[in-house]
Amino acid sequence: MKDMNLETSPDSGSRFLRACLRKPVDCTPVWFLRQAGRYMQEYRDVRKHHTLVEICKQPDIAAEVTITAAEKLGVDAAIIFADLLLPLEPMGLDFEFMAGEGPVVHHPVRTTEDVLALRTDRAEDLSYVARAIEKVGAHFGNRLGIIGFCGAPYTLASYMIEGGGSRNYIETKKLMYRNPTAWNGLLDKLITVLTAYCKQQVEAGADVIQIFDSWVGSLSIEDYRQYALPASKRLVEAVQQMGVPVIYFGVETAGLLTDMASTGADVMGLDWHQPIEVAWKSVGYNHAVQGNLDPITLFAPLDILETRVKEVLRSAGGRVGHIFNLGHGIVPSTPVENVQAVVKMVHDYKLEQARG
């Protein structure tokens, strides 16, 4: 683990970490969900020679992709290049990424027997991610925050049960409502594997862990409370006990934010559907927040983009504990120069303006 003495190091890595811990910063830290990906030529060049999973499994290449993206953008944090679905493999589920289709899990989990067959004793197989984190840490030192990540139990369970992305989450909700034993068994197994996986990442030097509950917005508030929240809370607490802050993120979560914040996550990731000033009230000012520019704004002319960036900053009100980000991931055709321009806009913004 890294030296957490934040008071003495004025670098941008601690700017990000300071904001996670709601300490004052010289300017708002910024990074982007999916900052390494197909919108970047350098990534496309690497992808010509390797599949996505090959990149993830070769620490040299995963580290290079992570570092290149963060350097090119000038952001304050680097998220390790990996994928949400990697833990499925050591649990016994094969998957692949089909062009244009996203992930496909070949034998989805549908029954009690399927859950019983899942393994929890092979998290060590994921240590290639930790090795990549070590390499990124060796490169950046304390210059940038290093973010490890994993999926939240609900979101990963939904991929395992649906066999891929989904529109209505029918199979997930069928298992959830009709077979609570299997559902709870599945979440328990996920927590075991994800806790071990996060521990590897923290020991390798991750400063923060982001837990992606990307598809939690598919749940009503009652269902979130009953079927997803307790498992997320257990994972958040387990990671916090490792000594790092947790960022907890989902999409279409406006109605869920207050409950999501009750996981105790240090930072709440916000999607772009409501202004930060509204969302932050639901979350509570005892949490930091991260967000929340609509990723498609990156296609707007620079003057409109700048207006929107400043609206996000103004909406955060110059309060301690805001990390600038998008409300969801960068999409493949995004112009890189607009992403770079946003970094400059955020860093140049005078926080006193927002405080009015």
Which residue of 58, 97, 230, 338 would you call a contact of ligand CP3, by CB under 6 A?
Answer: 97
Dig out the tokens for 13 from the structure.
């890595």
Which residue of 13, 37, 59, 137 would you call a contact of ligand CP3, by CB under 6 A?
Answer: 37
Residue 78 or residue 175: which is nearer to ligand CP3 going by CB? 78
Residue 27 or residue 52: which is nearer to ligand CP3 going by CB? 52
- 84: contact with ligand CP3 by CB under 6 A: yes
Stretch that binds ligand CP3, among 22-30, 79-87, 199-207, 286-294 (CB under 6 A): 79-87
Cβ atoms within 10 Å of 306's Cβ, excluding its own = 16
Please, which residues bridge with residue 147 across strands? 79, 208
Catalytic sites, residue numbers: 34, 38, 47, 83, 159
- 81: contact with ligand CP3 by CB under 6 A: yes
Whose CA is closest to 190, among 224, 155, 153, 239?
153
Whose CA is closest to 166, among 182, 155, 181, 177?
155
Cβ atoms within 10 Å of 238's Cβ, excluding its own = 17
The sign of the dihedral angle between the CA atoms of 132, 136, 139, 142 is negative
Whose CA is closest to 232, among 149, 284, 154, 148?
154
Residue 108 or residue 165: which is nearer to ligand CP3 going by CB? 165
- Amino acid occupying residue 217: G
Alpha helix stretches (DSSP H) within 50-205: 52-57, 59-73, 88-91, 112-117, 127-140, 153-162, 170-178, 180-203
- 35: contact with ligand CP3 by CB under 6 A: yes
* Cα-only R_g, the chain: 19
Which residue of 11, 42, 71, 83 would you call a contact of ligand CP3, by CB under 6 A?
Answer: 83
Please list every residue from 176 through 195 that binds ligand CP3, using CB under 6 A: none
Q: How many residues sit in the footprint of ligand CP3 (CB under 6 A)?
A: 23
Which residue of 20, 73, 79, 346 would you call a contact of ligand CP3, by CB under 6 A?
Answer: 79
Q: Which three-class secondary structure state does DSSP give residue 114? A: helix
The minimum distance between CB 10 and ligand CP3, in angstroms, equals 26
Dig out the tokens for 127 from the structure.
């240590």
Please list every residue from 209 through 238 that binds ligand CP3, using CB under 6 A: 212, 214
The minimum distance between CB 8 and ligand CP3, in angstroms, equals 29
Residue 214 or residue 218: which is nearer to ligand CP3 going by CB? 214
Indicate the residue whose CB is closest to ligand CP3.
214
- 72: contact with ligand CP3 by CB under 6 A: no
| Residue with the two structure tokens 């996986």 | 197
Q: Using an 8 Å Cβ cutoff, are 292 and 272 in contact?
A: yes
Q: Which three-class secondary structure state does DSSP give residue 91? A: helix
Please list every residue from 247 through 286 that binds ligand CP3, using CB under 6 A: none
- 329: contact with ligand CP3 by CB under 6 A: yes
| Residue with the two structure tokens 């393994």 | 119
- 71: contact with ligand CP3 by CB under 6 A: no
Please list every residue from 47 through 66 that binds ligand CP3, using CB under 6 A: 47, 52
Point out which residues bind ligand CP3 (CB under 6 A): 33-38, 47, 52, 69, 79, 81-85, 97, 102-103, 149, 165, 212, 214, 329
